[in-house]
Every structure is written in C-alpha cells, then in structure tokens.
Amino acid sequence: TFILTIAGGGSTYTPGIVKSLLMRKDQFKLEELRMYDIDAERQNKVAVIVKEVVKEMDPSLKLVLTTDPEEAFKDADFVFAQMRVGKYKMRELDEKIPLKYDVVGQETCGPGGMAYGLRTIFPMIELIDFVEKYAKKTCWIVNYSNPASIVAEAIRRLRPNSRIMNICDMPVGVMRNMAAILGVAREELTVDYFGLNHFGWFTKVYVNGEDKLPVLREHARVHGLLTEDMSKVDVQHSDPSWIKTYKNIKYLVDMFPEYIPNPYMQYYLLSDHIVANTNKERTRANEVMEGREKRLFDAVDQYLATGEMNKDAFYVGVHGLFIVDVAISLAFDLRKRFLVIVENKGAIKNLPDDAMVEIPAYITSNGPEPVRVGEIPTFYKGLIEQQLAAEKLLVDAALENSYEKALMAFTMNKTVKSAFQAKQILDDLIEANKEYWPEL
Ligand code: G6P
Ligand code: MN
C-alpha cells in the first residue's frame, strides 16, 4: 500500500484524479492520500468534493489536507504534481497580452507559455527539493505541471537525478479521439510519435499490428480529429474551443503529406488563422473560469447548502486515468508503453542528446526506457530545433537572470513575427509577472 500526495490539491482536476485512483484501488492500494497546496482556502473547497468521492469509493482511506510540506511529503511513495503558478488569473494574462499584438495567446505555446514557464521553474524545483527531503528515497514524482517542456528542461539542468516522470495528457487525449474514430478502445492503440511536449507528430497508429494512420488521415483531413458526438467521447474536450482545436487539425493534415500533428502544432503553423479566429476579450482562461472552475465551486456551495452533491461537477477522463496508469507501471514494473517526456540521449538520432523530447517509452520501476526513434525528416527537425532553442534560451534566461536571453527566446518562438513584437510582449509580461518571475 502506498502514500500518495497530490501537489496542487486545489486544482479543478483533483477530484477527477482521485476518482481515477480509487477506480484502480484493487491494483493500486492507497493507505493514505494527501492533498497539498499553498492555497488552503481553495484546497479546502476542492476537498469537499474529494471527501465525497472517498466516502463513496474507499471509505477507509485516510485523507489528509495540508499546506505544510513536511506533513505533505513525509514518507510519500508517490507525488502527483500539477501546480499552476498564478492560477487562471495569470493564465488569462498569458493569453491576452500576446493577443494585444496579434500573436497567439495560449497557455503553453508562444509568449504566454514562456511567461508561464518563468513562473513555474523555481516553484517546481522547490517542490522537488521538498520531496527529496521528506519522501521515501524510492518516491516517484509524476508531473503534469506546465509548460511541461520548459519545466522538464529546467529540471534536467538543475535536478538531473530527481525521480520525476514528466507527462502530458494531450497525446493520450488524441489517442482517445482516434480510438473513437476507429471504433476501438483506446487501449488497443499502439502509437509511434516524436517531438517536444505540445510540439510533435504521430507517425504510426497500430491496431492489432495494422497501421491505421492512413485511415485516420483520410478522416482527419475532412473532419479533423473529431467524431460526430464528442460529448459521448469526452465531456471536457467537447467544449467549443476544444472542438475547434481538434477540427483545425484538418488543415494541417490536408496540406502536409505524412503523419498527424499534435493539436498544439496549429498554434505554430497556423498562427495567423488562430489569431484571426480568437476572441481577444474572452480566451480559454475565461471559458475555464466560467466553466470547469465555476461548475466545481458551485457544486461545493450547493453541497454545503443542501447536502446534495452534483456528480457531474467534475471531470473524469484520460487526464486522471493516464497519470494513474503511469504510476501503476512505475509501482509494479509493468513496462507499459506510454508517451512521456524524456532526455533524448540519441533516441531521435538527429536531435541533440540533451533535448527533452516526447516519445514512447516503456515505464519500469526504474523509470522510462525510451524507444529508438531514429532519424526524423528535415521539416520536422527544423521546426523542432527552433522550438527547442527557444525553450533552452528561456531556461537560460531564468537561470542567468538575463533579459537578453528572454528576448532571444521570445524572438525565436515561431508564433512571434519580429524582434520588435517580441520585445513589446516581453516588456508587458514582465510588468504583469512582477510577483512571480525571477528578475530579468
Ligand atoms: C491538455 C494539455 C494540458 C493543458 C490542458 C488545458 O490537457 O495536455 O497541458 O493544460 O489541455 O486544458 P484546458 O481545458 O484547461 O484549456
Ligand atoms: Mn499538456
């Protein structure tokens, strides 16, 4: 039995993760579940729902809420990290400030993602140090904290020996949609994939040994990565903006002859189209605050007032299931194959060894054993190298307190058209992030 801590307990995703954990309780038995957050008030609210989930699914489970790192991590076996530094308020600024200059406003891509990166690097290192100090020596951190590429690169440099698995649920979310399109279960898909986090391509999609990529491309060039009734496939990703995101993929599939891109590629490769079709006053952060976050907190209020719990107020889907699946594979040495973020070390032959890449790996109790991807074609290699350079420069900026490096990172990012534009956006973001960023 395990002690597991969710760092970022106040997240809207926490109830879904807890439910996913308890759905797997026969295989992955918890003796204690801890929620840790720096915002006690928010965490207490989310815990109202979590307590209900626990009461219903595993009443004997001990649940601890804390804002104290020692209490949170003492003897922990697993830590699930999902911090959002600055919360949705700062996400809103990450999205809206670049849009003022007609640049993509997105949580993890472009200037917004870099801003979020500068907020997250040091809190993430602090978290790793807490875990190192208090948890079991064998403890694994499974990390969803965004922007995952930048966070992973900073950890690689500053804490190279930490036991951390950096993951993202976007590929597995796409696989869920692909499975629905093909009419099979997600578990039946085995994929080949390469890239950086939120910057990659599916190159093979096997079902029973047969590559379904051509069939999926045919579907995707007309319909995108969608089936008719997405609400049956996934509630969360049937929000209008997610439908649009999956739909836009059709343009890229139609224009380029091979592979299926990660939906995030549209921010880099269709940035003019994206900006033209974005409401600059109301971005995804607003939708989330008025949607997922409000639904959850309304349900808490309603529960406290009436004792009735709205079970649809939180999201259970691939996001929660995936992190639990990765943890189970780590815990029991299952060697399951997942797409995760690892140091390249030759896996993609014609990219630098020290790039943090997203590729398939077999998850063992000693961590990931990445597959060999081999050489990738020039188009993808060029795009990835530019994005990688931007990410590395951004981490340099944080570690060297360098405005110049930050400006280079912003200029390098493909969503940004000129150095003037990069500088204006950077200066606005410095102002907005005064409380959070290292000094540049
Ligand atoms: C996917 C990505 C995450 C990202 C999330 C945003 O799950 O993999 O990295 O944070 O989408 O979703 P939201 O519904 O908050 O816009
Ligand atoms: Mn992600």
Please tell me the distance between residue 124's alpha carbon and the centre of ligand 1 in angstroms. 18
* E strand or H helix at 432: helix 419-432
pLDDT of the residue at 11 = 97
* E strand or H helix at 383: helix 378-400
Q: What tokens does 415 get?
A: 């969503």
The CA distance from 150 to 356, in Å, is: 9
Please tell me the distance between residue 307's alpha carbon and the centre of ligand 2 in angstroms. 35
The CA distance from 340 to 368, in Å, is: 8
Residue 336 Cα distances to 155, 340, 408, angstroms? 24, 11, 39
Residue length, the chain? 440
pLDDT of the residue at 228 = 84
Pick the atom of ligand 1 nearest to 144's CA: 9
What percentage of residues in the chain have a pLDDT greater than 90?
95
Please tell me the distance between residue 145's alpha carbon and the centre of ligand 2 in angstroms. 8
Q: Give me the residues paired with residue 200 across strands.
A: 195
Q: Give me the residues paired with residue 167 across strands.
A: none
The CA distance from 65 to 47, in Å, is: 8
Kindly name the residue from 37, 77, 94, 169 that is annotated as catalytic. 169
* Closest C-alpha among 345, 380, 287 to residue 96: 287
Please tell me the distance between residue 432's alpha carbon and the centre of ligand 1 in angstroms. 22
Tell me if ipTM is over 0.95: yes
- Sign (positive/negative) of CA torsion 245, 251, 253, 256? negative
Q: Do residues 242 and 198 touch, judged by C-beta distance below 8 A?
A: no
**Residues near 50 by Cβ (< 8 Å), separated by ≥ 6?**
14, 15, 18, 35, 63
pLDDT of the residue at 123 = 98
User: Of 170, 197, 244, 296, which is best to mutate to test ligand 1, by the most ligand atoms within 8 angstroms of its C-beta?
Assistant: 170
For residue 293, the 8-state DSSP code is I
pLDDT of the residue at 374 = 98
Q: What tokens does 304 get?
A: 């406290």
Cβ neighbours of 104 (radius 10 Å): 25
Regions in the chain scoring below 70 on pLDDT: none
* Closest C-alpha among 317, 236, 235 to residue 284: 236
Question: Could you tell me what percentage of the chain is helix, strand and coil, using 3-state DSSP and rounding each to the nearest 5?
Answer: 55, 15, 30
Q: Give me the residues paired with residue 80 across strands.
A: 6, 142
Please tell me the distance between residue 284's alpha carbon and the centre of ligand 2 in angstroms. 15
Q: Do residues 217 and 260 touch, judged by C-beta distance below 8 A?
A: yes
Kindly name the residue from 13, 101, 259, 264 that is annotated as catalytic. 264
Angle at 294 between CA 289 and CA 300, to 5 degrees: 145
Pairing of strands 164-166, 140-143: parallel
**Residues near 323 by Cβ (< 8 Å), separated by ≥ 6?**
17, 20, 80, 142, 144, 167, 169
Residues 272-322: tens digit of each pLDDT: 999 999 999 999 999 999 999 999 999 999 999 999 888 788 878 999 999
Q: CB-hemisphere CA count at 13 Å for 358?
A: 27
Pick the atom of ligand 1 nearest to 170's CA: 8
* Closest C-alpha among 260, 254, 250, 262 to residue 224: 250
pLDDT of the residue at 427 = 98
**Residues with a beta carbon under 5 angstroms from ion ligand 2:** 168, 170
pLDDT of the residue at 103 = 98
Pairing of strands 199-207, 189-196: antiparallel
pLDDT of the residue at 197 = 98
- Sign (positive/negative) of CA torsion 214, 215, 218, 224? negative
Tally DSSP H helices, then E strands, for the chain. 18, 13
pLDDT of the residue at 202 = 98
Three-class SS state of 76? coil
**Residue corresponding to tokens 């993509």:** 104
User: Of 106, 143, 169, which is best to mutate to test ligand 1, by the most ligand atoms within 8 angstroms of its C-beta?
Assistant: 169
User: Of 17, 92, 146, 177, which is best to mutate to test ligand 1, by the most ligand atoms within 8 angstroms of its C-beta?
Assistant: 146
Pairing of strands 78-81, 140-143: parallel
Residues 237-248: tens digit of each pLDDT: 788 899 999 999
The CA distance from 239 to 40, in Å, is: 29
With a 6 Å cutoff on the Cβ, whether 237 touches ligand 1 is no
